[in-house]
Each structure stands twice: as structure tokens, then as C-alpha cells.
Structure 1
């Protein structure tokens, strides 16, 4: 069986403050305003955006599908506050694609075709690989269209690293980046992965009646 889902409602409640293990400051949770993501097919992919358009979207999309539409992607960030009360750093703690504005009753691991939680050891999770410090949500139909765009990888790189950087000595910009594909202005929503490169699981939150409330990708350790 895989690792159980953390208590995201408690961990990511806005304004929550937790002391760092070495008592050298604290982490304070913030929730940013959501930005729209278009899901023309309702088949969700979470991945590193530099690979968008390369591969088979049918193999990359999660088996849990939602009604086509446009839904907000909300970033949860943590601010590092020093012992003097000063703001020292900010990082993305999670990205949540909100399908329903309802409380989550249960969590399950988002799965791609041919993935089975019975394959996992007690300390394992399925996740998407990241080696560029960035993740994204994208629809499978959009993924297919991105592969037909000229130099789409270059467009992604420019959108991520070409935007103005904050002045030296200030906290990094945690705001999401939205990219268009063709006439779709809300094709990708990209975000920094809080702990850099690695493998990042995506969880599905379900309401009490079993409907999908959200997809949550968790690029930052939640323990401690």
C-alpha cells in the first residue's frame, strides 16, 4: 500500500503557522488567488511543462476524469518568517486544481493507466518527474495541441524564466504562470516546485458523495 495522504485541510489552512524544527523562525501558509485552466476534455495531466506535447497524452492523463470546463488552479505558499519577524523566503507548498468548491472527505492517489497502488511499497508514491523546478496542470487535448506548436518548449522556457525577476534580497515570485496554446488562453498553468527537482505525487480529493473536488500536486514536504 502507498503512503497515506497528509491532512491537507490542516496543513494548508490559510494563516496556519508552524515553528521550524530548529526554532529558527516559522512557516506561515498563504493561499493565492486562483487562475483559470481550460479542460476541454476533462482529462487532467500533471507534469513538468517542458515535456508538454512529447508523448502519448492517453498514457499521461489520470484515469479519474472530470466534466469539461474551466476551473481555477490555486497555489498554496509558505512564507519563511525569521525570529525577528522579517519575511525571509517564500515557496510553493501545493498546487490545487479546484473542480468543486466543497469540502474534501477522502483523498486518493491520482493514477495513470497501468498504475496500480498494489505495486507500491509502504514508503512509495507515484509521481511525475521534475528536473527543471517547475510543474503544471494541462488537459490531455491541450497536450496534444501543444505538440503541434512550433518550438513549444522554447515558449515554455521563455514563459518560466523570461519573466522579470524580483530584486536581489527580496522573496521570489510564487505567482503561477499561464500559457496559451492556439486560441486557448488558459491552456497551461505552471508553478514553481517548492523543493526543486524530484518526483511529485498528485492526490485527488473527493467529497462525501464521492465526486471529485480537486486535484492537488504537492511539491513541498508537509512533515515537520
Structure 2
């Protein structure tokens, strides 16, 4: 049986303060305004965008579908505060949510792709996508196909770090503000990309269902409230990637 979903309504409520760290450092939640994402087929893919256009989109897309259209992507951020209450200047994306309707979520289910079965998972396992470049995204299956042979990874990198080519040697580039929207062809809202919590890892996407069973949202959780996440990643994989069993761009991982 898969890992149980967190109580997202509680932990991601704007204004919530999480005393996650033993030294008294806290995380304070805030929410960004939504940005539009085009879903011309209504079939969603959540993935690290550097490899978009490569592989089999049919294996990456979630089996849960929505009506074709344009939907807002809303990011929940956590701001990091010192024990004395001063803001450190560090903010992280805690979750990315594709809002399908304004109906409240009554239950959460792991979003599954073709061939994935909850019965194959242990109690502490989940399906998610691996990240080794600190970036996640949402896109439609048709967008994935449209990317084709374009060098999309370079486009993503330039969008996420717009001044990288102008920085002096040895200076880390300044990242763009989350989220970043990338056009593909004539679609100006084809891909929405964002940084992933504390960085690399394997991250689950959940389907939020309303009381009538309809899909209210998809939400990717970046595990920012888990202080031990970096340590766990090192223990789970010799190469630093907490992926037990890779399946294209998605993976089975332990919580």
C-alpha cells in the first residue's frame, strides 16, 4: 500500500508557520497568484522539463484526465525565518497545484501513469518523478509531442536562469522568480516550470477529488517540511538520486 497523503489543506494554508528545524528556524507558507497552463488534450504530465520531448509521452501522462482547456497553476511557497523572527531571504516552492475547479478537495489519491499500480507499492513508497536539476513542470501530452527535436533543455535553463551567460566566471547565476512560463510553437502557455523545494529528489503528484468524485486539482508535493529529506536522499541512492526503480521520467521512491 502506498504512502498516505499529507493533510495539504492544513500544511499549505497561507500564513501557516512550521517550526521544522531544531534550532528554531521556521517556514511560513504563502501562495502566489495562478499562471495559466494550456491543456489542449486534458492529459497532464508532471516532470523535470529538461528532458521534455524525449521518451514516450503516453507513459508519462497521468491516467486521470480533465476537459481540454486552460487552467491556473498555483505555487505554495515557504519563506525561511531565523529563530529571532527575521527573514533569511530564502524562499522555496513547497507545492505546485494545477487548479481544475474551486470545489474543496475531499480526498487525495496518488496520480498514476500507465502501468503503475498502487498494489505494487510498500507502505513507505510512492510514484513520482525524479529531479536532478532542481526544476519541475506541468505540461500537456500534446505539448510534449510538439517539443519534438528542439533543444528544449537549453530553453528551460535560460528561462530559469536568465542572466547565466552574463555572470562573471565562478559567480552563480541569479534564478528567475517562480514560476516561469515557456511557449511552444504558437502556444504562449505551453509549459509552467518552477524550482523544486530544497532541490533534487523524487516527488509525488496527487489527484485531489471533490465530494462528487470529480477532479478538483493535481498537486505535486516537494517535501519541504521534512528536515531529513536531504539525508534520506543520500541514504537511498549511491549516486545521490533517491530513485528505487526508474520508469522513464517517473519513479518509485520511498518516503
TM-score, normalised relative to structure 1: 0.92
2: distance between equivalents of 1:181 and 1:116?
Answer: 32
- Gap regions ≥5 residues in structure 2: 228-255
**Deviation string, structure 1 residues 67-124 (Cα, Å, up to 9, x no partner):** 0000000000001111222111211100000000110000000000000000001110
Q: Aligned with 2:71: secondary structure?
A: strand
Q: Aligned with 1:10: secondary structure?
A: helix
Query: Does the CA-based 8 Å contact 1:77-1:174 persist in structure 2?
Result: no
**Deviation string, structure 1 residues 110-151 (Cα, Å, up to 9, x no partner):** 000000000001110000011100000000000000124x32
2: distance between equivalents of 1:19 and 1:47?
Answer: 30
1: distance between equivalents of 2:43 and 2:225?
Answer: 27
Range that drifts further, 125-134 or 78-87: 78-87
1: distance between equivalents of 2:131 and 2:141?
Answer: 19
**Deviation string, structure 1 residues 13-69 (Cα, Å, up to 9, x no partner):** 000012234142221100001100000000000000001000111111000000000
1: distance between equivalents of 2:198 and 2:126?
Answer: 17
TM-score, normalised relative to structure 2: 0.81
Q: Which residue of 2 aligns with 1:181?
A: 184
Query: Does the CA-based 8 Å contact 1:79-1:91 persist in structure 2?
Result: yes
Number of matched pairs = 219
Matched, 1:2 2:2: yes
Q: Aligned with 1:127: secondary structure?
A: strand
Q: Which residue of 1 aligns with 2:57?
A: 57
Root-mean-square deviation (CA, aligned residues, Å) is 1.9
Q: Which residue of 2 aligns with 1:106?
A: 107
Q: Which residue of 1 aligns with 2:16?
A: 16
Q: Which residue of 1 aligns with 2:214?
A: 211
2: distance between equivalents of 1:117 and 1:55?
Answer: 23
Query: Does the CA-based 8 Å contact 1:110-1:203 persist in structure 2?
Result: yes
2: distance between equivalents of 1:101 and 1:22?
Answer: 36
Query: Does the CA-based 8 Å contact 1:133-1:196 persist in structure 2?
Result: yes
Query: Does the CA-based 8 Å contact 1:63-1:112 persist in structure 2?
Result: yes
Distance 1:58 1:188, change over 3 A: same
Q: Which residue of 2 aligns with 1:125?
A: 126
Bigger relative CO (Cα 8 Å, ≥ 6 apart): 1
Distance 1:211 1:173, change over 3 A: same
- Gap regions ≥5 residues in structure 1: none
